[in-house]
Homo-oligomer: A and B are copies of this chain.
Amino acid sequence: MTLFEKHNKTLTRALVEIENRGFWSPYFEIPSSKVYGEGVKDAANKSFKASLNSKFEIKGLETSKYIGAETSPYGFDLGITYPSLPSQDLVDASLIAMNEWKKLPLDKRAGICLEILDRINKRSFEIANAVMHTTGQPYMMSFQAGGPHAQDRGLEALAYAYKQLNKIPDETHFEKPMGKNPPIVQKKKLKVAPKGISLVITCSTFPTWNSYSAVFASLLTGNSVIYKPHRNGILPIALSVEIIREVLEENGVDKNLVSMIVSDNREETQNLVKNKKVKIIDFTGSTTFGDWLENNAPQANVYTEKAGVNCLVIDNFNDLKAMGRNISMSLSLYSSQMCTAPQNIFIPKDGIVSNGQKISFDEVANIIASSVEKLLSVEDRAIEILGAIQNPEISKRVDEAGKMGEIILESKDIKHPIFENATVKTPIILKVSSKDKELYHNEHFGPVILLIETESREDSLKVWQETVELHGAITAGVYSDDEEYLEKVEDIAVEEKVNLSVNLTGHILMNHSAAFTDFHATGDNKAANCALSNDNFVSGRYSVVTIKKDA
């Protein structure tokens, strides 16, 4: 059985689900030993510990130089070093591998990519530890978002690419009728040509989730991939690269098709970005570097997800208790270190109406604050929601945030019961005015939440729209029982191209973005120039060369 046959059922279903966009998650999200095997979790924990303070060797990437200085947000140095090869060596090897890879038939490439995803899935516990101790995510999220949900995203992108390529015939028969004369006949070959090397630059918070879409979209369309992980997020990528290269080698594919650059030389990275053989760049991270990439790699298609300012509008709404519960989770999950978490909450200064009663601004603020307090009141549970603060800058930001406005809820440090040096902080919630644009027009990445007093419910819409128009956003939310108001909100969401959550009171948060149902970002505001995943995410990664001949 070929790998394509082995995984054909998964691919077939994926092709259906990218068009349904209901619920589908092919990789199981529960870290269950029934699915993932007895003892696998323990083995992964042991292997994580064994990997600390040593060299991470990747077969075929041996070198004399090993570097790395990752620190776990849970308060210890990983002490792992990784092979650091000169970028030009990686580029040269990447091109050789791509040149063979692109000639494989589509189904062969698809089979291998699907096998890779399957094999990465089987090692989700290992990925989970790596994600947890580089990003600071709580364990469950590290497993889910770092493992199966990231794999879902990889498969989703692969399916979009397959859908397009599968509709391009390898050969066509051209026959033009010429009236009474014989027809003109030609034979044409259509060859899918990859763009070139695909450089995937990953972030420190969701290294696998934010990159697998790019990797599998690029690979299926015939490109080679060089990963450039964040300096504090190397381990999850190194593990992924190791697994990918294993599967490639097993299948007789030059494993340099996927490699990784770890460099301590900033200039070398910048040269790699500008290398004329690097034709695709995917990036998640800061606006500064994202903008630099967009302007400094004219030879490449640059796909970026940068900072945005996610907003939530609170209007007249009856079920404030359920609202508070939902929002509290939105604000607390992974300490708001998600690109989908809300930061700005717009509330009219004169308050709202709930069940016929006037509820003042401060009362609404209090509902949110007390919901957060309640959610995080039990420290053991709080830790499993908050995770750890990813880096000292975020920590400092929280500590200094009090200066920005009236404090509605103080941030509290929580002592982690196992990792005593972990930095765990509850969110700080502040009240500011809608005039304080210099404050709320910025992203304060991390658990810094602004409750913004607007002039009125109409003004909330105005200031929200202005924020998104000027600074972009990945998500938006609204609570309102007024259908007319909701229509206006929806119109603004469509105008500013931001995904909108309406009146969420259950398990789903506005932060959630699941493959096969949620397009992650729309790709059309300042926060991101691409969406995960859609036709546009894959269509620029290849071209078609036609070879025509008289027949």
Looking at the assembled complex, report how far the CB atom of A493 sits from the nearest CB atom of chain B, in whole angstroms. 6
**Which of B102, B294, B536 is within 8 Å of A540, CB to CB?**
B536
Interface window among A267-275, A352-360, A401-409, A505-513: A505-513
Looking at the assembled complex, report how far the CB atom of A149 sits from the nearest CB atom of chain B, in whole angstroms. 12
Task: Indicate if the CB atoms of B175 and A503 lie closer than 8 Å.
Answer: no
Q: Is A337 an interface residue (CB 8 A)?
A: no
Q: Is A150 an interface residue (CB 8 A)?
A: no
CA distance A58 to B191 in the complex (A): 45
Looking at the assembled complex, report how far the CB atom of A245 sits from the nearest CB atom of chain B, in whole angstroms. 25
Q: Looking across the interface, which residue of chain B has its beta carbon closest to that of A501? A: B548
Binary contact track A343-382/B, C-beta < 8 Å → 1, others 0? 0000000000000000000000000000000000000000
A503-B19 CB under 8 A given contacts A174-B517, A508-B186, A522-B544 = no
A contact patch SS: mixed
CA distance A186 to B21 in the complex (A): 12
CA distance A545 to B547 in the complex (A): 39
Q: Looking across the interface, which residue of chain B has its beta carbon closest to that of A535? A: B539
Task: Indicate if the CB atoms of A497 and B193 lie closer than 8 Å.
Answer: yes
Chain B residue contacts of A540, Cβ below 8 A:
536, 540
**Which of B184, B506, B508 is within 8 Å of A506, CB to CB?**
B184
CA distance A545 to B476 in the complex (A): 11
Chain B residue contacts of A142, Cβ below 8 A:
none
Q: Which of A465-519 contact B (CB under 8 A)?
A: 490, 493-495, 497-508, 517-519
Task: Indicate if the CB atoms of A507 and B546 lie closer than 8 Å.
Answer: no
24 contacting pairs across A/B (C-beta < 8 A) = A19-B167, A19-B168, A20-B172, A21-B168, A22-B172, A102-B494, A186-B508, A188-B517, A193-B494, A498-B545, A499-B547, A500-B547, A500-B548, A501-B549, A502-B547, A502-B549, A503-B549, A503-B550, A508-B550, A534-B544, A535-B535, A536-B539, A539-B539, A540-B540
CA distance A312 to B20 in the complex (A): 47
**Which of B193, B298, B518 is within 8 Å of A524, CB to CB?**
B193
Q: Which of A25-40 contact B (CB under 8 A)?
A: 25
Q: Looking across the interface, which residue of chain B has its beta carbon closest to that of A295? A: B298
Task: Indicate if the CB atoms of B184 and A548 lie closer than 8 Å.
Answer: no
Q: Is A461 an interface residue (CB 8 A)?
A: no
Other contacts beyond A21-B190, A25-B176, A195-B524: 16, CB < 8 A: A21-B188, A22-B173, A102-B494, A172-B517, A189-B490, A193-B522, A295-B298, A494-B545, A499-B545, A499-B546, A502-B549, A503-B550, A519-B544, A523-B543, A535-B535, A540-B540
Chain B residue contacts of A524, Cβ below 8 A:
193, 195, 543
**Which of B169, B497, B506, B548 is within 8 Å of A19, CB to CB?**
B169
Q: Looking across the interface, which residue of chain B has its beta carbon closest to that of A191? A: B494
Task: Indicate if the CB atoms of B169 and A518 lie closer than 8 Å.
Answer: no
Chain B residue contacts of A191, Cβ below 8 A:
490, 494
The quantity of this chain's copies bound in the complex is: 2
**A residues with CB within 8 A of B:** 19-23, 25, 102, 164, 167-169, 172-176, 184, 186, 188-191, 193, 195, 294-295, 298, 490, 493-495, 497-508, 517-519, 522-524, 531, 534-536, 539-540, 543-550
A506-B550 CB under 8 A given contacts A174-B23, A535-B535, A545-B493 = yes
Task: Indicate if the CB atoms of B547 and A490 lie closer than 8 Å.
Answer: yes
CA distance A386 to B372 in the complex (A): 78
**Which of B298, B508, B531 is within 8 Å of A184, CB to CB?**
B508
Q: Looking across the interface, which residue of chain B has its beta carbon closest to that of A187? A: B502
A500-B23 CB under 8 A given contacts A195-B524, A506-B550, A517-B188 = no
A534-B539 CB under 8 A given contacts A195-B524, A517-B174, A550-B508 = yes
Looking at the assembled complex, report how far the CB atom of A308 sits from the nearest CB atom of chain B, in whole angstroms. 14
Looking at the assembled complex, report how far the CB atom of A354 sits from the nearest CB atom of chain B, in whole angstroms. 18
Looking at the assembled complex, report how far the CB atom of A425 sits from the nearest CB atom of chain B, in whole angstroms. 29
CA distance A493 to B189 in the complex (A): 12
Q: Looking across the interface, which residue of chain B has its beta carbon closest to that of A165? A: B535
CA distance A19 to B190 in the complex (A): 12
Chain B residue contacts of A502, Cβ below 8 A:
547-549
Chain B residue contacts of A506, Cβ below 8 A:
184, 550
Task: Indicate if the CB atoms of B504 and A550 lie closer than 8 Å.
Answer: yes
